[in-house]
């Protein structure tokens, strides 16, 4: 195994997601802003966001769809149109932490775990209270739910949300 310096300019670059093709996504502080980035084949690009917005990319699927957080809202950068960000509708603050290969996005909104298709409003996942859906792979979603998110780790099979 070899390692590669991604040479992400800025303070505290943090890689948060990678796909099988080797594209890495994350966030970095530049000046007064948090910037979402994607690194592919030796080239890094800042992901587009509304002017003045802080952003972090958190996950990428096999196709290259990216999710994250922009201005405290769940965000989706589609592989088919990577220069456009979609801010996902949700009650309260939200963020996206995982994206499946069929564009099923797992996230949190108003302190509850959610799942949604990238182009439609999603629904709250079953659970006992506050938490977040944090990752998706194949038919599985994992996250936290319960009175104490430290003890309420959950995993489940998707049901076509």
- DSSP element (H, E) containing 154: strand 153-157
Total domains in the fold of the chain: 1
Q: Which domain holds residue 79?
A: 11-157
Q: How far apart are alpha carbons 75 and 105 in whole angstroms?
A: 10
| pLDDT at position 140 | 82
Q: The domain that contains 141 carries what CATH number? A: 2.130.10.150
Residue 118 lies in a domain: yes
| pLDDT at position 118 | 66
Residue 16 lies in a domain: yes
pLDDT along the chain (161 residues), means of 10: 86 94 95 95 94 96 96 94 89 90 85 76 62 83 67 53 42
Residue 40 lies in a domain: yes
Residue 6 lies in a domain: no
| pLDDT at position 106 | 87
- DSSP element (H, E) containing 40: strand 33-40
| pLDDT at position 125 | 66
Residue 93 lies in a domain: yes
Give how far Cα 23 sits from Cα of 47, 100, 158, Å. 13, 15, 25
| pLDDT at position 46 | 95
Residue 3 lies in a domain: no
Residue 5 lies in a domain: no
Residue 4 lies in a domain: no
CA 66, 59, 76, 142 dihedral sign is positive
């Amino acid at each position: 195994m070899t390692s590669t310096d991604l040479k992400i300019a800025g303070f505290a670059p943090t890689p948060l997601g990678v796909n099988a093709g080797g594209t890495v996504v994350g966030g970095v502080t530049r000046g007064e802003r948090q910037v979402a980035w994607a690194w592919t084949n030796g080239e890094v690009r800042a992901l587009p966001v509304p002017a003045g917005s802080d952003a972090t990319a958190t996950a990428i699927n096999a196709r290259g769809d990216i999710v994250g957080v922009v201005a405290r809202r769940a965000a989706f950068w589609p592989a088919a149109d990577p220069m456009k960000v979609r801010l996902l509708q949700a009650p309260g603050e939200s963020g996206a932490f995982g994206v499946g290969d069929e564009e099923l996005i797992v996230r949190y909104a108003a302190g509850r775990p959610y799942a949604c298709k990238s182009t439609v409003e999603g629904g709250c996942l079953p659970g006992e209270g506050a938490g977040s859906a944090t990752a998706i792979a194949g038919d599985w979603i994992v996250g936290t739910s319960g009175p104490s998110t430290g003890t309420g780790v959950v995993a489940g099979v998707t049901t076509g949300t």
